Amino acid sequence: MLELESLSVGQYGFINNVFSFGLAVMASSTLFVWLMKGSVAPAYRMAMVITGLVTAIAGYHYLQIMLSWQGAATINTGEVLVTGEGFNRAYRYVDWLLTVPLLLIELILVMKLSKSDTMSRSVKLGGAAALMIILGYPGEVSSEVGTRALFWILAMIPFLYIVREMVVGLKDSIARQPDEVKGLINAAAILLVVSWAFYPIVYLLPLVGITGGSAIVAVETGYTIADIVSKAVFAMLIFLIAVRKSAADERELVAEAAKQGEQKTPVKKVA
Amino acid sequence: MLELESLSVGQYGFINNVFSFGLAVMASSTLFVWLMKGSVAPAYRMAMVITGLVTAIAGYHYLQIMLSWQGAATINTGEVLVTGEGFNRAYRYVDWLLTVPLLLIELILVMKLSKSDTMSRSVKLGGAAALMIILGYPGEVSSEVGTRALFWILAMIPFLYIVREMVVGLKDSIARQPDEVKGLINAAAILLVVSWAFYPIVYLLPLVGITGGSAIVAVETGYTIADIVSKAVFAMLIFLIAVRKSAADERELVAEAAKQGEQKTPVKKVA
């Protein structure tokens, strides 16, 4: 279990503030994309709604994590005393089980692929993401090193599949995107892969004997930063992509209409 | 640490009411700008959304600050007794880390500069603002006079950069604004600089030996007033600017259409 008593009062308070910061960022990001939904074309509004859902779910879990943290210890005469309630780290897994598949679906939706492609990629990537989280959980709650290592390896299989799909599998689809969003979509895919790579590293820390107050601070701050990058910063990228694609689609529509207008004129003259 | 026990019961209750007032003002300001979002032109809606986000984030932190205040002491037979949980002053920093960069971005967005100018100013000013808050934090939580003084000086560097940008850097951009908003935008920039100048002064109070019950009342009331001026009063200015600029843009559009109409008429006559 977590040795909360190895924390100083300052460290205990700092982690509380980190959780509160996470909650505030996630809630702000949610409100931003939902309130700005009207400024993207209808085709991209489902991507906006799901982008906001991911951060809303994450915000809810940061509230739960913060309350669990506050209930797990009290401060008395300058010392952190555990209450025995325990700090519920599993909230992170409950969060990821919902948000990680949705994050991949966000990216697929904003690309506006064909209907069948959207469906098959959502099922494959979303399924792999859910499987990755489910396989990670038994190792996270186990205190045995062997169990932790085994489930780390098992969870890495769907993780590597997702990385491969992001880096190689999406290449053709990204190449067909309008020029002004190619760079952004690439950046979003890379942001996901890089920020997600942080989690399996943190997962291994207890295996290599990194424990104590500073380790708890590092793990909780690290997870929170990774969550903010992969969800809220990612949300801003998805929003920007949706805005630019809305503009590109409209330009294409106008060009198409102008072309049809030109074609009509000679036809009429001939008639 | 804060000597809460030097407060009278009346003072302890008064500060609680100040925090509750801050929460009510921030929440009202948020609801106002979001509900009025539809009455400004689409180009200014992102400024409205972010203006509301700033006060929403501040409202959330006033709730947290108030709950922390209530948990930090109890009242027993006419005396304030600390519980040992401590009053978490750091919530203000968590708030500022998010809201101070966003306040600058609000002002930039409502000016509707060119895309590249908007982006570069947001990054520079937002980054300087975040740096200022991060540099202030270690001094705020330290009980050593030297550390407090050192980080005050470090945080003043990005602060002075922001002041310079507000007063000198924005001059040309303000000069290009429509006449009816020039005064308001100038007022908004000055309001920011003046209300922000209050924070480094309060920060220094413990250094000059001002402590005790009255000092706590002065600091917490002062910070709250400064927050209300720089966020909620500022929000009303931003809203007014957006309304006037929407009207100015429409007038310009109508004038442009009339001009094109005039040009068309002679062409038709010739034909």
pLDDT along chain A (271 residues), means of 10: 78 93 97 96 95 97 96 86 87 93 92 91 94 91 86 94 89 89 91 89 77 83 93 95 93 88 58 42
B202 touches chain A (CB under 8 A): no
Rounded average pLDDT over B263-267? 57
Residues of B in contact with A76 (CB under 8 A): 84
CB contact under 8 A, A24 and B60: yes
Q: Give the pLDDT score at B42.
A: 93
| Residue A186, domain extent | 4-248
The reply to whether A235 falls in a domain is yes
Distance set, CA A263 to CA A254, A255, A258, A270, B29 (Å) = 14, 12, 9, 11, 54
The reply to whether B265 falls in a domain is no
Most confident of B110-119, B151-160, B176-185: B151-160
Q: Give the pLDDT score at A259.
A: 87
Distance set, CA B160 to CA A93, B124, B126, B149, B200 (Å) = 44, 13, 14, 16, 11
Nearest to A24 among B34, B57, B90 (CB): B57
A10 touches chain B (CB under 8 A): yes
pLDDT band at B98 (very low <50, low <70, confident <90, very high): very high
* A75, β-bridge pairs: A80
Residues of B in contact with A27 (CB under 8 A): 56, 60
Q: How remote is the C-alpha of A231 from its chain's centroid?
A: 4
Buried b (16+ CB within 10 A) or exposed e, B141-168: beeeeeebeebbebbbebbebbbebbee
CB contact under 8 A, A31 and B56: yes
Q: Give the pLDDT score at B270.
A: 47
B38 touches chain A (CB under 8 A): no
Nearest to A10 among B57, B85, B141 (CB): B141
Does the pLDDT of residue B12 top 60, yes or no? yes
- Calculate how close chain A gets to B268, using CA atoms only, in Å: 19
| ipTM (interface predicted TM) | 0.88
Residue of A nearest to B86 (CA): A75
CB contact under 8 A, A17 and B88: yes
B34 touches chain A (CB under 8 A): yes
B90 touches chain A (CB under 8 A): yes
Q: State how many domains chain B has.
A: 1
Most confident of B23-32, B106-115, B190-199: B23-32
Q: Give the pLDDT score at A260.
A: 85
The reply to whether B251 falls in a domain is no
Q: Give the pLDDT score at B266.
A: 54
Contact B241, B184 (CB under 8 A): yes
A240 touches chain B (CB under 8 A): no
The reply to whether B255 falls in a domain is no
When comparing pLDDT for B207 and A25, which is higher?
A: A25
CB contact under 8 A, A14 and B50: no
The reply to whether A50 falls in a domain is yes
Q: Give the pLDDT score at A1.
A: 42
The reply to whether B270 falls in a domain is no
pLDDT band at B264 (very low <50, low <70, confident <90, very high): low
Rounded average pLDDT over B217-234? 93
Tell me which residues of chain B, numbers 203 to 232, contact chain A at a CB-CB cutoff of 8 Å. Answer: none
The reply to whether A266 falls in a domain is no
Per-residue DSSP letter, A74: E
The reply to whether B254 falls in a domain is no
What's the CATH code of the domain at B126?
1.20.1070.10
